[in-house]
């Protein structure tokens, strides 16, 4: 897993092969094939492993700061190294195969969504995010914006974009009290 996840950082999706993982990890190809009959499942699991290591959900007590940090962590891997192609190709495989889609939803997607939802829910518990907000729909918008920029428009994940997305989301679901506190702080 560790060897495979390091390769994902350095190589495009197509180049993360069973042979490459065997060489990097010292594990035999036959052992790898037994455990992962399909290359895309190996890449999905290795990428989920890597993402879990790198995208911690912060808890500073400020939902705006925690949401922005999580957006930066989630998109960092899309500007550094080769992982953008991996994320995109895994989505494409999920579209083409309902079996792979089921696995994708139970692993990488679930972990990514959990991060957004836990930041927002902690915000609700602190009176910073409104209780009537549908956290699932907001997560669709945030996670969806990232994938849309990656696969549809191809535009950059620069600091202004992340700032705008975060501000828009906070304005969209924060309590009046928290919004007032933020504007006083500026």
Q: Residues interacting with a second copy, by CB under 8 A?
A: 88-89, 91-92, 94-96, 101, 104-105, 109, 113, 133-134, 136-138, 140-149, 151-155, 160-161, 164-165, 168-169, 171-173
Residue closer to a second copy by CB (options 59, 140) is 140
Residue 7 CB, nearest distance to a second copy (Å)?
Answer: 20
Least Å distance, CB 56 to a second copy, is 22
Q: Output the DSSP codes for the chain.
A: -HHHHHHHHHS-GGG--HHHHHHHH---HHHHHHH-SSHHHHHHHHHHHHHHHH-PPP-SS-HHHHHHHHHHHHHHHHHSTTHHHHHHHHHHHHHH-HHHHHHHHHTHHHHHHHHHHHHHHHHHHTTSB-TT--HHHHHHHHHHHHHIIIIII-----HHHHHHHHHHHHHHHB-HHHHHHHHHH-
Choice between 11 and 71, CB closer to a second copy:
71
Residue 37 or 144 having the CB closest to a second copy: 144
Contact at 8 Å (CB) between 36 and 45? Answer: yes
For the CB of residue 2, give the shortest distance to a second copy in the complex, in Å.
27
Closer to a second copy at the Cβ: 34 or 153? 153
Choose between 58 and 97: whose C-beta lies nearer to a second copy: 97
Q: Cβ of residue 22: shortest distance to a second copy, in angstroms?
A: 26
At closest approach, how far in Å is the CB of 69 from a second copy?
Answer: 18
């Amino acid at each position: 897993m560790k060897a495979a996840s390091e390769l994902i950082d350095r190589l495009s999706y197509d180049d993360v092969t069973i042979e490459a993982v065997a060489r990097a990890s010292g594990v035999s190809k036959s052992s790898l094939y037994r455990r992962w009959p399909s290359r895309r499942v190996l890449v999905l699991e290795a990428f989920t492993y890597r993402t879990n290591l790198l995208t911690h959900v912060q808890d500073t007590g400020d939902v705006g700061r925690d949401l922005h940090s999580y957006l930066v962590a989630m998109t960092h891997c899309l500007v550094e190294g080769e992982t953008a192609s991996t994320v995109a190709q895994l989505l494409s495989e999920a579209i083409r195969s309902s079996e792979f889609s089921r696995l994708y939803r139970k692993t990488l997607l679930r972990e990514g969504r959990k991060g957004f939802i836990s930041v927002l829910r902690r915000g609700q518990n602190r009176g910073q995010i409104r209780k009537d907000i549908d956290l699932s729909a907001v997560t669709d918008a945030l996670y969806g914006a990232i994938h849309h920029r990656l696969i549809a428009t191809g535009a950059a994940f620069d600091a202004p974009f992340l700032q705008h997305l975060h501000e828009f989301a906070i304005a969209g679901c924060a309590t009046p009290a928290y919004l007032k506190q933020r504007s006083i702080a500026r």
